[in-house]
Structure 1
Amino acid sequence: MGIWLMIIGVITFRGNIAYIHWYNRSRITGENAPKFAKVMGIGATVIGGSIVFTSILQMFFDLEILWWITVIGIIIGMICIVYGLIKYNRGIF
């Protein structure tokens, strides 16, 4: 799942907003589409990267505390995504 999110994040970061739900891109203007794509791509890549990084570390070190990397990554990624929605889509919904 983490690798899938990273791939989708990189594709979105490069300007393809087709993987974003139609409702969340309904009010995006043509000039804001690349900026919106970058913010959404960063958010998805951070979430996916934190999942992959935690999974790799869990293979070597079986520590409960490593799951906080995923939690922090999800929080940071969601902040990026919500920021992009509020700024470029003029609202979350």
Structure 2
Amino acid sequence: MGAIDFARCGMMIFLGLILIVIGIFNRKGNISTIHWYNRRKVSEADRPAYGKWMGLGTILCGAGLMAGGIFQYFAPEGIWSIPVVVGLVIGLGLMLYAQLKFNHGLF
């Protein structure tokens, strides 16, 4: 494994960690990291639940990227894409659910 491959693994792990931290902030009720346009119709009463669902989706996206970075370093080629795809699909699905339920539409 060369320096470029190691850097690619590190970038995926670092980006995953950033997404996990943002997701934790969202889960705690701080939805300011979500673009104002995507949260403008969320009522004050629904903000904690919206933050929890969006945060969980963001955490799963980040966990998928982190796992993909780790798998990319240790596992055979191509295996690393499985946790990335699974994490992104489930995470984005949860975010879509929260967006439709609490914002009453995508925008």
For 2:86 and 2:106, locate their aligned partners in 1 and report how far apart those are by CA, in whole Å: 21
Q: How many residues align?
A: 93
1:51-62 equivalences under 5 Å are: 51-62=65-76
Query: Paired residue for 1:14?
Result: 28
For 2:77 and 2:55, locate their aligned partners in 1 and report how far apart those are by CA, in whole Å: 30
Secondary structure class of the residue paired with 1:18: coil
Could you tell me whether the CA contact under 8 Å between 2:38 and 2:106 is conserved in 1? yes
For 2:22 and 2:47, locate their aligned partners in 1 and report how far apart those are by CA, in whole Å: 16
RMSD between superposed Cα atoms in Å: 0.9
For 2:27 and 2:65, locate their aligned partners in 1 and report how far apart those are by CA, in whole Å: 18
Gaps of 5+ in 1: none
1:19-38 equivalences under 5 Å are: 19-38=33-52
TM-score, structure 1 length as denominator?
0.95
- CA offsets per residue over residues 32-68 of structure 1, 9 Å max, x none? 0000000000000000001001111221123312312
Secondary structure class of the residue paired with 1:30: coil
For 1:91 and 1:71, locate their aligned partners in 2 and report how far apart those are by CA, in whole Å: 25
Say which one has the larger Rg: 2
Give % identity.
Answer: 34
TM-score, structure 2 length as denominator?
0.83
1:13-92 equivalences under 5 Å are: 13-92=27-106
Gaps of 5+ in 2: 1-14
